[in-house]
A and B are shown apart, each in its own frame.
Chain A
Amino acid sequence: MPILSRKQRVSDEIPTASMADIAFLLLVFFLTTTVFNEEKGLPIVLPEEKEEQEVSAKNILFLIVQPDGSVTVRRGESEQEQIVAYRQVEGILRQELAANENLIAAIKTDPSAAYRHMINVLDEVKKAGAERISLQMVGE
């Protein structure tokens, strides 16, 4: 058999047929590994420093968050207090807002109460559609 008679015919081009597959593979890899971490939460605007306003007592509904997570509701004028579970706050606040749309929901939290209790109440207040919210701490 003659060895050197046939020339080898190797193409000197880069094969481009599979290029699209490679690119799409990379594309799919990046698409699946990308994590969109959305920012979610309960937005609130704090008052500017030293811009705390005096409001008349009849426009305030105090929601006092106790260390155990229960809520004491006190209408600004009266001394009367009502202890409720936080799930009931939304209903109470809705009623109050229907009666007085200028009502300010003042969430007054005990310093030793866990953050989640305060968020639970803030959540209820947000759900009730209150626009005017004040965050305070008991004993200030």
Chain B
Amino acid sequence: MAVKAGGFKRRSGASSDIPSSSMADIAFLLLIFFMVTTVFRREKKREIDWVSAEATRKIDEKRKNILHLWIDNVGQVWINDQAIADEDIARVVRPIYAQNREIVIAVRGDRDVPYSKINTITKQLQAAGAVRVTFATRLEQRLQRPRR
């Protein structure tokens, strides 16, 4: 059976344009994805002077497993936007730990807080059983030192 006209006559009918009619759908899909995955901060950001350390590491933990414990420059402790007296920390943390055993306490302390405060807090956290603690720091880069 002969191919009609040698198979060369007909031009391909395919369009060379990028199909743009579905572009809006793609964009909206991406938009919805980002809107759904965005987690809004639940707590107010507190103004503290951060401590910095060169050994700062990224904490590889899900956001829901991290509990922030703020210590502001006057030594007031805040958990979930609530001011908490030093001796009540264990009482507040214990139910949170009971709900989620994976919890990591990120201690965000002001750099000038006296250490006795930190010691009280770590004692309270031990009493609550939450022993995984991170001292939240900013990455420090010392330029005068060669990188190892």
Contacts and interface: CB of A to CB of B under 8 A. Distances in A.
Contacts of A42: 53, 55-57, 134-135, 137
Interface of B: 20-21, 23-24, 26-28, 30-31, 34-35, 38, 41, 51-59, 61, 63, 66, 71, 104, 106-107, 109-119, 122, 125-127, 129, 131-140
Given A20-B23, A40-B136, A42-B134, A115 B58 contact: no
Given A23-B24, A116-B111, A119-B52, 19 more contacts: A20-B27, A26-B31, A40-B59, A41-B134, A45-B132, A46-B122, A46-B126, A48-B126, A48-B129, A113-B114, A114-B111, A114-B113, A115-B71, A115-B111, A115-B114, A115-B117, A123-B54, A123-B55, A123-B137
A13 interface: no
Contacts of B137: 40-42, 119, 123
B116 to A, nearest CB: 4
Contact of B133 (A44, A114, A120, A123): A44
Contact of B27 (A23, A44, A47, A123): A23
B24 A20 contact: yes
Contacts of B71: 115
Interface stretch (A55-63, A74-82, A104-112): A104-112
Interface string A4-31: 0000000000001101101110110011
Contact of A137 (B34, B38, B115): B115
Contact of A127 (B28, B55, B112, B119): B55
A43 B132 contact: yes
